[in-house]
Amino acid sequence: MNLALFDFDGTITTRAMFADFLHAAVPPRRRLPARIVLAPLVAGYKLGLVPGNLIRASAVRVGLAGLPEAVAVEHGRRFASAVLPGVLREIALERIAWHRAQGDRVMVVSGALDVYLSPWCRQHGLELICSELEVEGGVLTGRYRGAQCVGPEKARRVAEACDLSAYPEVYAYGDTREDFDLLRLAHHRYFRWQAWPGPAAEPAAERAG
């Protein structure tokens, strides 16, 4: 049995889905105020001055704080069933199917949110490590539970969940700089579906999103 590690946004999907989910889940009355509050951060992000993890944390705080957990979970279930099927990459589904046919352990390792990744991964029979929304008293706090699952945190969580030395071969698939640490864990590395030679030859990439 080998181990296969897949980023989700931009790797399994054709584009990042974080903003799409927030648009669906944020109550309509909050959308305009949230856009106004986040506008300077969005501008900084587009200029490469604001990191992706900061803008995601800010969007979660402004958009989701106080939302009942049950409502967020239902939004996530609907998003996974109605929206995600339309943005999946055929090459990703074929590669996942190939790994499963080999009897490999297949895991999604993503900075995306648990409320929509959990139902999608359950549907496809995949393990999941991802960013999780914090809940207190049945409502979202607007914070993450623990660190966002990006960059070095991806590699740390995989190492915590798996004994990497137990697998003859480790495969990893990613598409942004936030995946480089994940790719470095693997014997077989794929960046934007092209073989990546390794840390000595890091590919040119846009800022992570």
Average pLDDT (88-111) is 98
SS3 assignment, position 41: helix
Q: Between β-strands 139-144 and 105-113, what pairing exists: parallel, antiparallel or unpaired?
A: unpaired
In terms of DSSP bridges, do strands 3-6 and 105-113 run parallel, antiparallel, or are they unpaired? parallel
How far apart are alpha carbons 187 and 147 in whole angstroms?
26
pLDDT in tens, 70-89: 999 999 999 999 999 999 99
Query: Per-residue confidence at 198, pLDDT binned at 50, 70, 90?
Result: low
pLDDT recorded at residue 40: 85
Q: What is the percent of the chain where pLDDT is above 70?
A: 94
pLDDT at 74: 97
Domain locations in the chain as residue ranges = 3-200
Q: What is the CATH number of domain 3-200?
A: 3.40.50.1000
CA-based nearest residue to 5, from 164, 199, 208, 118: 164
Between 161 and 198, name the one with better pLDDT: 161
Helix residue ranges per DSSP H, 9-163: 18-25, 28-46, 52-64, 69-82, 90-101, 114-124, 152-161
Using pLDDT thresholds of 50, 70 and 90, give the confidence band for residue 207. very low
Q: Is the pLDDT of residue 33 over 70?
A: yes
Query: Dmax over Cα atoms in the chain, in whole Å?
Result: 52
pLDDT at 199: 55
- What tens digit of pLDDT does each residue of 143-183 get? 999 999 999 999 999 999 999 999 999 999 999 989 999 99
**Cα–Cα dist 171/188, whole Å:** 5
